[in-house]
Structure 1
Amino acid sequence: MQDCRILITRPEPENTLTCERVRAHGWTAVSLPMLDIAPLENADQLAQIRSQVFDIDTFDYVIFVSKNAARIACKWLDACWPMLPIGVHWIGIGEGTTNTLREEGVPALSNPGHTTEALLDWLKPAKMTNQKILIVRGQGGRPELGLKLEERGAKVSYLSLYERKKPRYHAQTFFMLPDINLIWVTSGESLSNLSEYVTLHTPEWKTLPILTPSIRVNQQAIEMGWINASCAQGADDNSLIKATEFHTGKQND
């Protein structure tokens, strides 16, 4: 597996950046995004977002659930806040999200783990009582984080900035792809979309090694019939690269 061909399923624009890092490691990157990210853009939605961003200084914690949430939110912060408000704790879930915020000048912290569950372990329950928390996400995101924080006495609000859509591919798309050695998925929704297409067009891919970002998504992959799923312990490039190096090392032994 010296020429490891990796299917990259991130949404754009992150997919292109990840493909560049994969190629820099001497592997072949095969791009096939399994999510499309579309910023909300009708007038009512934009007015609601603007109002919430102007009120962001009223929150004790602002939690960003993904790189897309961080990237789009930073554009709104630039437009509404020439200087960031003081006294807000900015938190990114995972290394990639946190780094995206820091690159845009937001002094974000990150929990030691890479998942919602790890963040909940990190946030001290006693300190959440009556804390105002804003969760920045896409429409219809996982409810677990907000529900658990509310159980700890926090007052949770949501800022939805984008919607996730399933990309449209045809059988010809899969027919034209090169042979794949390894697959990266970075979210449960991407995995679900990929599994639907694979079942239709390339069911043999279910035997390929697939790297997932968390134990939850890894279990989801197993339940969907992927027989060689492994957890990379993170959705960021560094975690996936490390897991790939481990995997290819095993293959070459």
Structure 2
Amino acid sequence: MVVLVTRPNVEGHELCMMLNESGIASLHHPLINIEPSSKITGLDRALQRADIVIAVSQHAVSYAHQYLQEHALNWPKTSHYLAVGQKTAQLLSKLSQQKVNYPSQSDSEHLLELDELQNVAHQKIVILRGNSGRELIYQTLDKRMADVSYVETYTRQHLDFNSDSKVIQWQEAKVSHLVVTSSDQLTHFLSQLTSAQIHWIQTLQLYVPSERIARQAKALGFVYITNVGSATNKELLAALRLNKQDD
């Protein structure tokens, strides 16, 4: 069993280390690079006017906190804080020293079911996110008559690669499992491959964090798909270890 991990930066390295410590071989091939956004200026003004602050990822939180620290600013104590997932909520709560609520399932659909977002007409809501992503939260809250705005705290940059050399490397390493943690990364990954290479990739056991991405993967031709239900390294590791036991 050899796992190809495509998640970026620190998280990808961390998951590979956890896999290796569990006796599972892995290769790290990040598909995106994440950096602070130049559009983060004005974050403090947006936060100060916000009734509700929504963080869509840990990156959104960490880069926002970094900006606040650099400018000797604090997270407001009068806002209600929400996060898409548990790990993001935990990080936001730790850094802001505020209570943060989150849905039982880590996705936009379940976030929008939270009580705090049902009667939001005329409330000012700030969404902390990267330079791209789904528009569902914004569009739904806008329909609910909220005053919604984004603050872009970080940017994602796709990392192109030479698929001819990489796929040969992965095949020689006997890669059998693949971890992809976002819809955007999955689409970019396949865009870099030839038809023959895609056919081979589709034979791997794919691990994704949500039912939405699982449906996307199935539509793209993947056959062996495991929906982990979470993008945390802990849950990904648990699912991969379970698969190793079944082998």
Aligned mates of 1:72, 1:124 — CA distance in 2: 25
Q: Which whole-Å CA distance do the structure 1 matches of 2:47 and 2:236 have between them?
A: 33
Q: Percent identity?
A: 24
Give a deviation string over 1:132-151, Cα, whole Å, max 9, x none: 11111111321111111122
TM score, norm. by length of structure 1: 0.86
Give the whole-Å Cα distance in 1 for the aligned partners of 2:180 and 2:57.
14
Structure 1: distance between partners of 2:118 and 2:94: 31
Q: Distance in 1 between matches of 2:72 and 2:31?
A: 33
Contact persistence 1:214–1:231 (CA under 8 A): yes
Partner residue in 2 for 1:36: 33
Which residue does 1:5 correspond to in 2? 2
Contact 2:15 2:237 in 1 (8 A): no
Secondary structure of the equivalent of 2:192? helix
CA distance in 2, matches of 1:227, 1:199: 18
SS in 1 for 2:110: helix
1:159 has 2:129 as partner: no
Say whether the 8 Å CA contact 1:112–1:122 is kept in structure 2. no
1:209 to 205, 211, 233: 205
Does 1:179 pair with 2:171? Answer: no
Q: Equivalent residue of 1:234, what SS? A: coil
Structure 1 position 163, deviation (Å): 2.4
After superposition, residues 72-87 of structure 1 pair within 5 angstroms as 72-87=63-78
- Other structure's SS at 1:230 match: strand
Structure 2 vs 1, CA of residues 193 and 97 (structure 1 numbering), >3 Å: closer, same or farther? same
Letter in 2 for 1:173: K
Q: Unpaired segments of 5 or more residues in structure 2? A: none
Q: Secondary structure at the match of 1:84?
A: coil
Moved over 4 A (4+): none
SS at match of 2:34: strand
- Give the counterpart letter for 1:187 in structure 2: S
Give the direction of change, closer, same or farther, for the CA distance of 1:71–1:124 in structure 2 (3 Å limit): closer
CA distance in structure 2 between the aligned counterparts of 1:157 and 1:202, rounded to whole angstroms: 38
Change (3 A) 1:60 1:94: same
How far off its partner does 1:221 sit? Answer: 0.4
Tell me how far apart the structure 2 counterparts of residues 125 and 62 of structure 1 sit (CA, whole Å): 11
Asked if the contact 1:206/1:226 (under 8 Å) is kept, the reply is yes
What SS does the corresponding residue of 2:18 show, helix, strand or coil?
A: helix
Gaps of 5+ in 1: none
CA contact (8 A) 2:35 2:154 kept: yes
* Residues 71 and 189 of structure 1: CA distance in aligned 2, closer, same or farther (over 3 Å): same
2:223 aligns to what? Answer: 227
Q: How far off its partner does 1:20 sit?
A: 2.0
Separation in structure 2 between the aligned mates of residue 195 and residue 26 of structure 1, nearest angstrom: 28
2:19 to 19, 22, 40: 22
Structure-2 change in CA distance of 1:185 and 1:123 (3 Å): farther
Which residue number in structure 2 is paired with residue 189 of structure 1? 184
Structure 2 distance, partners of 1:79, 1:54, is 15
Which amino acid counterpart does residue 203 of structure 2 have in structure 1? T
- 1:240 maps to what in 2? 236
Counterpart secondary structure, 1:26: coil
Q: 2:112 aligns with which of 115, 120, 125?
A: 120
